[in-house]
Structure formats: C-alpha cells, structure tokens
C-alpha cells in the first residue's frame, strides 16, 4: 500500500515509473475511498521489501509518502474510475517492457538506491544536451536540473549521463514524470525510451 500521494498529480504510470526501480510491478490500483492511496502488486515479496525500505517517508510533489505491506495478497481489478487527470485508476503492468527485473541478468544491472538528488539517465539519443533535457522537464512541469553531465564514449548508439537537482523532491518528480520518456531517433525508425534511476554522488566523479 502507498499512502500520502498527491491525488491531482499522480497516476498509475507515474507511480510505476518510481516503483519499477525496486522490482517488477504487476498491477496498480488507486483507492476511490481514499484519495491519494494506491495498492500495488509487485512481482515478488523481496520487491515489496525493497520499495518499502527505500521509499517510505520519501517526498514527492511536496508530500511525504508512506508504504506498508497490504493485507491482501493480490489485486482484484474490480471497476476502475477516472483519476483527476482523466487516466484510469487501475492498470496491469505485468507485460510492460519497462519492467527491469525480468531475468537474473536484467535484475543484476539495477542499482538499488534510496532517493537522492541525482538521477542517472541512459538509453538516450547521442545528441542529447542540457538544453534538450531542460526542455523535456519544462514540458512536464518539472524543475530543470541544476547540473547535467553526459558520459563520453560509452556507446555509439545511445548516450547516458547524470542530472542533479537541488532537492530530492524535484528528483522524485522528474523520475515520476519523465522516466521512460520517448525521444525521436534521427538515425532509425524506432524512438529512444529514456530511462532514469537514482544514483550517488560518487558516480558523478568516477565516470
């Protein structure tokens, strides 16, 4: 269970964008009787533990969120309703290609990290710049980062780097709103899907 969410600014996709860092997300269902509360079914118990350990009392949209284990073992879809942003209150993510723990090899690539002011971005166009990233933030009403850095020579097909904000709340909002943002690929038919995850300041200087 997730409590304390801003009902006007959160939805299934945005909550998924945060929780997918800690395990596969199966289903998300918002509670009509408790605005700002959602039930989340993860792929395994360890994923629930990781999410609670790292996200409980984290701040997003100026509100502290609380996470705890639900008494229910699984989500029963039931009748969905419209959230304030006109999206559905229930969504099944079990087949989502954005889940990052589909195999042991994929799971091992994820760095489990509590929220920080720093986000690592990857699978982005090679020509991404600080100005382009700031424009994406502006389009989604996210505060632009205070620092931006790309890593040179990692891959000819895509780029990666680090972006930093002044506070963790802003980084959390960026994660919720622009994780899995689709970017045009000028060299091919398929767009890039930019991925974000939390990072540490040590990585900023080591790359």
For residue range 59-104, list pLDDT tens digits in order. Answer: 999 999 999 999 888 898 888 999 999 999 999 999 999 999 988 8
Between the alpha carbon of residue 162 and those of residues 14, 107, 108, the distances in Å are: 21, 21, 20
DSSP per-residue letters across the chain: -EE---TTT--HHHHHHHHTTSS-EEEEEE-TTSTT-EEEEESSHHHHHHHHHHHTT-EETTEE-EE---S-SS-------B-TTS-BSEEE-TT-TT-S-SSHHHHHT-------SEEEEEEE-TT--HHHHHHHHHHTT-PPPSEEEE-TTS-SS-EEEEEE-SSHHHHHHHHHHHTTEEE--TTSSSPEEEEEEE--HHHHHH-
Structural domain boundaries in the chain: 2-98, 118-206
- pLDDT in the model for residue 201: 66
Lowest mean pLDDT among 78-87, 127-136, 155-164, 170-179: 155-164
pTM for this entry: 0.93
Q: Look at the domain 2-98 and name its fold.
A: Alpha-Beta Plaits (3.30.70)
Please state the CATH superfamily assignment of the domain spanning residues 118-206 in this structure.
RRM (RNA recognition motif) domain (3.30.70.330)
Q: pLDDT confidence of 186, banded at 50, 70, 90? A: confident
Q: Which of 45, 41, 62, 56 is nearest to 3 (CA)?
A: 56
Dist. CA 174–CA 106, nearest whole Å: 23
Give residue-wise pLDDT tens across range 7-23.
Answer: 999 999 999 999 999 99
Mean pLDDT (whole number) for 118-146 = 95
- Token code pair at residue 196: 């974000």
Examine domains 2-98 and 118-206 and report if their fold is the same. Answer: yes
């Amino acid at each position: 269970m997730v409590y304390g969410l801003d009902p006007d600014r959160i939805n299934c996709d945005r909550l998924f964008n945060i929780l997918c860092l800690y395990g596969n997300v199966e289903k998300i269902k918002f509670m009509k009787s408790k605005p700002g509360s959602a039930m989340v079914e993860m792929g395994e118990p360890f994923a629930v533990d990781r999410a609670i350990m790292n996200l409980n009392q984290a701040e997003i949209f100026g509100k502290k969120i609380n996470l705890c284990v639900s008494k229910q073992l699984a989500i029963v879809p039931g009748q969905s309703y419209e959230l304030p942003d006109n999206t559905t209150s229930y969504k099944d993510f079990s087949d989502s290609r954005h889940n990052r723990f589909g195999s042991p090899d994929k799971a091992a690539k994820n760095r489990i990290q509590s929220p920080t002011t720093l986000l690592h971005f990857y699978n982005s166009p090679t020509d991404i710049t600080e100005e382009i990233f700031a424009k994406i933030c502006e389009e989604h009403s996210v505060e632009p980062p205070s620092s931006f850095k790309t890593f040179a020579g990692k891959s000819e097909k895509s780029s990666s780097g680090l972006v930093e904000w002044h506070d963790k709340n802003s980084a959390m909002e960026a994660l919720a709103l622009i994780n899995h943002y689709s970017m045009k690929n000028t060299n091919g038919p398929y767009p890039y899907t930019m991925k974000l995850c939390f990072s540490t300041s040590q990585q900023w200087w080591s790359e």
